[in-house]
């Protein structure tokens, strides 16, 4: 089951890389986060984890009546 999402996303990723003929460096650079100065994946996971943690704190405060 875990591989099924990756199997569905892979063709889209391949098309994005090959959208201008061969895999253009600009497309890869955007997807690898070169424009940001480091990989994009850690930033995206940190945002999700931070939102989840903040929601847990706010739910706890609401349950405590704060």
Given this model, what pLDDT does residue 40 score?
82
The domain total for the chain is 2
Angle at 30 between CA 14 and CA 40, to 5 degrees: 100
Q: Is the pLDDT of residue 9 over 80?
A: yes
5 and 21 co-located in one domain: yes
**Host domain of residue 60:** 37-66
47 and 26 co-located in one domain: no
Confidence of residue 2 (pLDDT cuts 50, 70, 90): low
Helix segments in 1-66, DSSP class H: 2-17, 25-32, 40-63
0.85 exceeded by pTM: no
> Cα(66)–Cα(60) distance, rounded to whole angstroms?
9
23 and 46 co-located in one domain: no
Tens of pLDDT along 48-65? 999 999 999 999 999 998
Tens of pLDDT along 18-40? 777 766 777 778 778 888 888 88
């Amino acid at each position: 089951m875990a591989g099924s999402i990756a199997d569905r996303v892979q063709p889209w990723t391949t098309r994005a890389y090959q959208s201008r003929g061969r895999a253009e460096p600009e497309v890869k650079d955007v997807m690898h986060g070169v424009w940001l100065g480091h990989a994009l994946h850690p930033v995206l996971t940190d945002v999700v984890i931070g939102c989840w943690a903040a929601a847990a704190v706010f739910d706890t405060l609401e349950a405590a009546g704060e």
